Structure 1
């Protein structure tokens, strides 16, 4: 059985939200993520405001297309982060009926990072939004174990861990760690990669932003990851379009085809009950 699949906006980040929703729906996705916040200076994003004509029309379009807005990204909790600045984004998320906000931790002061993450969860709660911490090898929360420990320490009902396959496996994550914190894994992003793991922060960023492969076309143990997940975990695909001359529509459709093949192969190798 193939669950309802989502598509992260980073997979075709140069496509504006309205067209992105149309392309995702046409390819069979049931959910999308939208990048309303820049994860770093100059990163492409679409800062839609609550109550604006653009956001209202996008919300109506998603209803017409029968596609959900699952998560809003990408927020970096760094040393200068003030959770209160996220209130306009949370308002926009609520208007879009999004249920999750994706964040990364990049503050060397762990106590301050934990306090800001906790406050962000508190602020997000009235909007019906949960907050997922994602590890990235070049940030303070570099490993899955660190992300899971942070989420466990604040124990907010609307907090969770996002497992991105490239960041999970490239930064020391293993299935034993995953099983120990599985109840906190609320969202998963699938992709693949091949070759040796990069060793520098610059190389990690380059691989994550332009070196990913469609699920099943690389070397990551994605079958084991899928078999470990709880049924309620939301699964999306995040593979940036990096091939010159490839259209966003074809790329989005190809990611869906590859992911369906991955699930079908996983189902075939699962033990019969």
Structure 2
């Protein structure tokens, strides 16, 4: 039976630099990290992780020193003005230099045809760097559900593009395990584990706030994580994406990482 691996997602410790995230991941038991090369919002910190910067070189050194792998990099948004510009080219080059293989992609364009064309360009560009795109359904974006993701991938003509399952987004979008069972295993490259209150927020603003700032430690919320994990492929890598708030969020970064690693370990066995 395959054992799942645990990676520390970028959003979990976004308050510390990528190099420090790598060192913390190594000291707390994780075998991989996710690295945010581009800020997801204007409010997020920019650690200058594009190109041959001091931050990139420090992160590379930390990866070499610790043996930690880069599970994924983020975030590329399919927006109405998406373009394969110099910034995105440098993003892909940097991702490959860090040893990444997976890229997180968000669908932020209501024009399905244009979005499919852009995903096709992105997928082709990534192949030159050994990178696979992974479309993450989020209930406040243009790609809300697994069905939305499958349609967009089919329209793009890029069947190797993956679908990223996030535990919070999966249940908040009203998905079912039956729908999940219809996904071919080949489109699943890794998943994101977290917990959240069982009752979904009534406003989109609160939905987004919880997702970006206030998730729950696995096992401390109301999501049916055991059923979700049992429905996923046995060896699927797990990225622990849990930005914490309140007293837990005020803990030092290393303590947060250790808390989450210990909580997530119970989900390593696919039959747990």
Measure, in 1, the Cα distance between the counterparts of 2:237 and 2:156: 22
Counterparts of 1:246-265 in structure 2 under 5 Å?
A: 246-263=251-268
What are the superposed Cα offsets for residues 31-63 of structure 1, whole Å, 9 maximum, x if unpaired?
100111122223223231333343233213212
- Counterpart CA distance in 2 for 1:6 and 1:263 is 11
In structure 2, relative to structure 1, the CA distance for the partners of 1:152 and 1:189 (3 Å cut) is same
Listed one character per residue, the Cα deviations across residues 168-213 of structure 1 (whole Å, up to 9, x for unaligned) are 1101111111111142122200000114111322121112122310
* Cα deviation 1:209-234 (Å, max 9, x = unaligned): 22310111111111112112224532
Distance 2:58 2:198 in 1: 43
Q: Which residue of the partner structure matches residue 60 of structure 1?
A: 61
SS in 2 for 1:56: helix
Match of 1:111 in 2: 113
In structure 2, distance between residues paired with 1:55 and 1:134: 25
Q: 2:84 aligns to what? A: 83
Q: Output the CA distance in 1 between the equivalents of 2:62 and 2:71.
A: 15
Match of 1:198 in 2: 201
Structure 1: how far apart are the matches of 2:138 and 2:271?
Answer: 30
Counting only pairs closer than 5 Å after superposition, residues 141-180 of structure 1 correspond to structure 2 as 141-180=143-182
Q: Which has the higher contact order (CA 8 A, sep 6+)?
A: 2
Corresponding residue of 1:271: none
Where do 1:179-194 residues align within 5 Å?
A: 179-183=181-185, 184-194=187-197
Secondary structure at the aligned position of 1:98 is classed as coil
In structure 1, distance between residues paired with 2:3 and 2:245:
26
Equivalences for residues 41-52 of structure 1 within 5 A? 41-52=42-53
Deviations 1:124-152 (A, max 9, x none): 11101111001111111112221232224
Shift of 1:155: 4.2
1:238 is the counterpart of 2:234 = no
Question: Size of the alignment, in residue pairs?
Answer: 267
RMSD: 1.8
SS at match of 1:189: strand
Match of 2:27 in 1: 26
Question: Structure 2 unaligned runs (5+)?
Answer: none
